[in-house]
Structure 1
Amino acid sequence: MKKLISYIWPTTRRFSSEINGTLEVTYINGKKVLDTENANYSYGSLQKILEIGLTKVDLKSVENLLLLGMGGGSVINSLKKMGFYEVIFAVELDPEIIKIAKNEFNIKEAGNLIIIQANAAKYVKNCAEKFQLIIIDLFIDIKVPTIFYGKEFCENVSNLLDSDGSIIFNVGINLEKKPDTVQTIISHFGNDFEFQVLPKVNRTNTLLIGKKLK
């Protein structure tokens, strides 16, 4: 009944986060979405954007995946739909979002899903694991904190990636107004990477698809 009503009368629940401000879980057209004041965080347009990125990498070669910025877990949901059941390390800074992911979207730790509440910049600096795919989706509302555009962060991510591993980096919204940003990020990863730039994915976001050559 609740699902049927959502097609006629969307319902919204609000949660307060010290990091992201007001978070909204809206039940609309038979599904839940997670939004901040100005942006979709999970299960709406963002899920479609990252799914496009996932089609650009070889998931069959991935045994360990690092997700920086779990949000409500929509990309985890997408990976399952694509038949990916290998190990996922999901890092999320906001404990309120982790709680929402578990309680509202049934994203819970299991044998192949490890949820880590941590600052992504600190995590990649100290992590000893190696990964074949790293997904970077680190927003506070509609902005990517500048630390994640920095040389140190990019080098630390590179160090965690196996040879022939891939990166999907959601680098921001409407970056055609800042063309130097994308090239700066690419340069931080160095000559060991080959990048494909996907501008205006779903008419909004720029994705970087990177392949580590050695």
Structure 2
Amino acid sequence: MLKRILSFFIPVNIYKQHSTTSQKLEVTWNNGQLVLDSKNTNYSYGSLQRILRKGLHYIGFERIRGFENALVLGVAAGSVIKTLAEEIKFKGKITGVEIDPAAIEIANTYFGLDKITNCDIVIDDAFEFVLKTKEKYDLIIIDIFKDTEMPNFLFEDFWINRINFLLKVNGFILFNTMTLTNQHKERNLSYRSRFSEQYSVRMYPKVEDHNELFTIKKLK
């Protein structure tokens, strides 16, 4: 309790772990809330949870409650899964895919991710999982970072087409991106242009400073 109170004045680190995937992971009390950070950015809870909650709000909580299944690519400590299960009261199946087992260990130990009964966690590379899965999804959340870097494959045609194939008609993609440079902004504009009239694409710039969200609805 004392560390939580102190965190309103200064961040209080309580756990550090080296990760071969994410380099450094830190669990910290910050402004009375437990968060997971990498070396240079917030990985779960804190600002990231606010960003993805906004994206889910744009889609509509009531609409999401009517979905059957959701795929979360990039879990970290599971803040968006907590939002789905506990705040939105989503009762469908949640599949979370995370490449870093250290992040999932932290998620279970410090954030209670393993207590969410309608969630299955798969330790796998998101790219490989997307190639293998035979399911289709009502909601696909893409939140894949290595610290502040985003893998190039997220913006390549093969990946975009495969994700679109896995999305059910009237389903949504929520894609969280980081725009730190003009090149990143141009990359996002190019990404937006790759969707046909079968999709409704909306872009929400400057969500929490450097994040830009996409919501993409499959119309037919």
* Range into which the TM-score falls when normalised by the shorter chain: over 0.9
The corresponding residue for 1:124 is: 130
Unaligned runs of 5+ in 1: none
Match of 1:63 among 58, 61, 68: 68
How far apart, in 1, do the equivalents of 2:33 and 2:185 lie? 36
- Aligned partners of 1:61 and 1:132 also within 8 Å: no
Establish whether residue 186 from structure 1 lines up as the match of residue 187 from structure 2.
no
Match of 2:78 among 73, 79, 91: 73
How far apart, in 2, do the equivalents of 1:37 and 1:103 lie? 20
Establish whether residue 199 from structure 1 lines up as the match of residue 208 from structure 2.
no
1:1-214 residue pairs with structure 2 within 5 A? 1-2=1-2, 3-7=4-8, 10-12=11-13, 13-57=15-59, 58-79=63-84, 80-108=86-114, 110-174=116-180, 176-214=182-220
Residues 199 and 8 of structure 1: CA distance in aligned 2, closer, same or farther (over 3 Å): closer
Secondary structure of the 1:157 match is helix
Residues 54 and 105 of structure 1: CA distance in aligned 2, closer, same or farther (over 3 Å): same
How far apart, in 2, do the equivalents of 1:189 and 1:118 lie? 27
1:38 to partner: Cα distance: 0.6
| Structure 1 residues 111-154: Cα deviation after superposition (integer angstroms, max 9, x where no partner) | 41000001111111111011101000000000111011111111
| Structure 1 residues 11-67: Cα deviation after superposition (integer angstroms, max 9, x where no partner) | 212110001101111023322111111100011111111111001112133110000
How far apart, in 2, do the equivalents of 1:49 and 1:135 lie? 12
- Aligned partners of 1:174 and 1:200 also within 8 Å: no
Unaligned runs of 5+ in 2: none
How far apart, in 2, do the equivalents of 1:172 and 1:84 lie? 27
Task: Read off the aligned partner of 1:62 and give its amino acid letter.
Answer: F
Aligned residues with identical type, % of pairs: 36
1:178 to partner: Cα distance: 3.4
How well do the aligned residues superpose, as a CA RMSD in angstroms?
1.7
Residues 189 and 126 of structure 1: CA distance in aligned 2, closer, same or farther (over 3 Å): farther
- Aligned partners of 2:65 and 2:89 also within 8 Å: no
Equivalenced residue count is: 214
Secondary structure of the 2:50 match is helix
Residues 166 and 123 of structure 1: CA distance in aligned 2, closer, same or farther (over 3 Å): same
1:82 to partner: Cα distance: 2.0
Residues 10 and 201 of structure 1: CA distance in aligned 2, closer, same or farther (over 3 Å): closer
1:175 to partner: Cα distance: 5.5
